[in-house]
Amino acid sequence: MTKIGILGYGNLGRGVECAIKQNEDMELTYVFTRRDPATVKILTDSAKVASVNDILNHKDEIDILIICGGSATDLPEQTPEYAKHFNVIDSFDTHAKIPDHFSNVDRSAKEGGHIALISVGWDPGMFSLNRVYASAILPDGADYTFWGRGVSQGHSDAIRRIEGVLDARQYTCPIESAVESVRKGEQPELSTRQKHTRECFVVAADGADLAKIEKEIKEMPNYFADYDTTVTFISKEELDRDHQGIPHGGMVIRSGRTGWDLENKHVIEYSLKLDSNPEFTSSVLIAYARAAMRMHAEGQRGCRTVLDVPPAYLSRMSGDELRAHML
Amino acid sequence: MTKIGILGYGNLGRGVECAIKQNEDMELTYVFTRRDPATVKILTDSAKVASVNDILNHKDEIDILIICGGSATDLPEQTPEYAKHFNVIDSFDTHAKIPDHFSNVDRSAKEGGHIALISVGWDPGMFSLNRVYASAILPDGADYTFWGRGVSQGHSDAIRRIEGVLDARQYTCPIESAVESVRKGEQPELSTRQKHTRECFVVAADGADLAKIEKEIKEMPNYFADYDTTVTFISKEELDRDHQGIPHGGMVIRSGRTGWDLENKHVIEYSLKLDSNPEFTSSVLIAYARAAMRMHAEGQRGCRTVLDVPPAYLSRMSGDELRAHML
């Protein structure tokens, strides 16, 4: 039985709690929060809620700590800090900053004699794995990653910061004709605008200048300016009724050629359709928590990513069972 | 530079030769054959052809031997035998006999101080990996594997053994409505007949009893009796014109549920569309040959499968490069 602590009880932390329930070799012992613990209600009767300030008093009750903070400010601080005291795993997803995060966490984890797995989820995570597998198998080829249709929290937040906006939900959508061309192995050159569109559903304040809001969204640099963006104003009731889920997904496609004269074409595709982005990410985290415990048990110390983990380590089955039933 | 020997120069051996050309860190040194070496023409100027009887004289010129024999009779003999003398890799694909093959090869490889990777390809191989990843992530769910549309050599051979048949090509085809139901996460119960159909293109001898041939195919136990099978008689010219390729592919799909009350649905799909089955398998073999050399260099001995190999080991990139560019 692996004893798990969750640090941070938002959508991701709650997803981890649900995933633990689905894995009989895992047990939730503690949820740690920055809020007043008395105000945090969790679902698991047998687990306790405690203040993050008391976390070091519970080292013996936790085999691995799943850190469920945000990538912008929480994880760059938390993961290196807690890797000194616990085996840890996070879903750090700021791709450009992974090398820095890795070296910070690696230093702490080695110092503390722990194992740490960072950037575990689906992108980075399962999508990264598939990029690596496919490009190793087909060295003469091209990679494409499409996301969606799914909710982007970052883009939804960006819209909410506009004056006159009460709430918003943004969907990232792959452009079907681009996906089809890639699937046919045509290896098209695709600009940002040719890969995805952005659909925005916005609740505006009474009397707000809708044209101004729409213009501000569509011209927002980095977030929307490089995309074909649609803005639909809806009521708060419509938002609550039709846009409460957090679906996501996407696909990693590589097409490449083999043969003495590269005469044969191949297409490898990995795709996800997810009703709940945080719950799927949580499910990946729990499978890798099992792997991390095995790596720790065999003496591995320091930081690792999904690229370093043998697939068998994720499964509850033994090597013999896997070879007999899954290979 | 990894020096590679190929044992057996059929479709697969020739595919490996082509794949080596695409990987600058790999070099083909020898092709070993059971035929008279003088009769075997290969594509690589810098490599030599030798008799399999002389293979032990070339141990110093080979870092890893890729054994390209058949799973029925060649590999069960060859892989354990040569694992005593070489690092080896094969694509043994008789699923039910993998545990026996594994333990035979493991014993020899340990005796010889070598690493051996067995059952490397796409099924077993990449499909197995995806079954393991997906079932570890979504423990409450169901797995489906579909093959095709693609040529089954075994089924084509079975038809060729019928009296009055000169040549034949059999395609395994997934049933689209079954695939769609699985993709929607409906988790249907599917019989053998509900998953695949079999399309047979047959060249009959002049004056052969076509009705009798068709009946014999459709009623052949194990191969065709459990499937909806179509038989089309064509001329030798049509066969040569329209059916010379060896395409294949398929998909592994897992759908599962997450959430406290399993309220959310997820679908993971891995799919392949391959112009050349043997060339794709060869490309997987070469990527895993790289991994095997790394495992051997770090002191690993004995038999392994794709499930034991960290994804990063397949890539030419370093850990730093992978984290910066692929994660």
A211 Cβ neighbours under 8 A, 6+ residues apart? none
A69 Cβ neighbours under 8 A, 6+ residues apart? A7, A8, A75, A78, A90
Task: Work out whether the CA dihedral A80, A81, A84, A86 comes out positive or negative.
Answer: negative
Minimum CA–CA partner of B277 in chain A: A266
Q: Which of B137, B276, B305 sits opposite A323 (nearest CB)?
A: B305
Minimum CA–CA partner of B250 in chain A: A268
Query: Which pLDDT does position B9 carry in this prediction?
Result: 98
Contacts of A309 in chain B (CB under 8 A): 310-311
d(CA A31, CA A35): 11
Query: Which pLDDT does position A299 carry in this prediction?
Result: 97
Q: Which of B119, B266, B307 sits opposite A275 (nearest CB)?
A: B266
Query: Which pLDDT does position A297 carry in this prediction?
Result: 98
Task: For residue A319, give the H/E element and its range.
Answer: helix A319-325
Query: Which pLDDT does position B210 carry in this prediction?
Result: 97
Query: Which pLDDT does position B195 carry in this prediction?
Result: 98
pLDDT bracket for residue B143 (50, 70, 90): very high
| B132·A316 Cβ contact <8 A | no
Residue to test with chain B: of A264, A266, A327, most B Cβ within 10 A: A327
d(CA A206, CA A224): 24
Contacts of A314 in chain B (CB under 8 A): 132-133, 136-137
pLDDT bracket for residue A104 (50, 70, 90): very high
d(CA B299, CA B295): 7
Residue to test with chain B: of A2, A122, A151, A258, most B Cβ within 10 A: A258
Contacts of B92 in chain A (CB under 8 A): none
Per-residue pLDDT, averaged over B283-293, amounts to 98
Q: Which residue do the tokens 């054959």 mark?
A: B33
| A15·B258 Cβ contact <8 A | yes
Query: Which pLDDT does position B316 carry in this prediction?
Result: 97
Neighbours of B76 (CB within 10 A): 20
Residue to test with chain A: of B264, B276, B322, most A Cβ within 10 A: B264
Q: Following DSSP, what letter does each residue of A221-271 receive, concatenated?
A: TTTTTTSEEEEEE--HHHHHHHS--B-EEEEEEEEEEESTTS-EEEEEEEE
Contacts of A274 in chain B (CB under 8 A): 264, 266
Grouping H, G, I as helix, E, B as strand and the rest as coil, residue B32 is strand
Phi, psi of A223 (to 5 degrees): -80, -45
| A308·B309 Cβ contact <8 A | no
| A287·B136 Cβ contact <8 A | yes
Minimum CA–CA partner of A284 in chain B: B137
- End-to-end Cα separation, chain B, in angstroms: 26
Spatial contact of A273 and B266, defined as CB atoms under 8 Å apart: yes
Query: What helix, strand, coil percent values describe chain B, rounded to 5?
Result: 40, 30, 30
- Determine the distance from the C-alpha atom of residue B313 to the mean position of all C-alpha atoms in its chain, rounded to a whole number: 20
d(CA B169, CA B31): 29
Residue to test with chain B: of A71, A92, A103, A326, most B Cβ within 10 A: A326
| A323·B102 Cβ contact <8 A | yes
| B272·A268 Cβ contact <8 A | yes
d(CA A279, CA A294): 23
Tens-digit pLDDT profile for residues A66-82: 999 999 999 999 999 99
| A307·B324 Cβ contact <8 A | no
Per-residue pLDDT, averaged over A265-284, amounts to 98
Minimum CA–CA partner of A285 in chain B: B137
Tens-digit pLDDT profile for residues B186-217: 999 999 999 999 999 999 999 999 999 999 99
d(CA B157, CA A144): 38
What pTM was estimated for this model as a whole? 0.96
Q: Which of A287, A305, A322 sits opposite B137 (nearest CB)?
A: A287
Minimum CA–CA partner of A144 in chain B: B326
Cα–Cα nearest to B128, from A142, A321, A252: A321
Q: Tell me how many residue pairs between chain A and chain B have CB atoms under 8 A apart.
A: 207
| B135·A315 Cβ contact <8 A | yes
Which ipTM score applies to this complex?
0.96
- Determine the distance from the C-alpha atom of residue A138 to the mean position of all C-alpha atoms in its chain, rounded to a whole number: 26
Portion of chain A with pLDDT greater than 90, in percent: 99
CA distance B281 to chain A (A): 9
Per-residue pLDDT, averaged over A181-188, amounts to 95
Portion of chain B with pLDDT greater than 70, in percent: 100
Contacts of B316 in chain A (CB under 8 A): 136
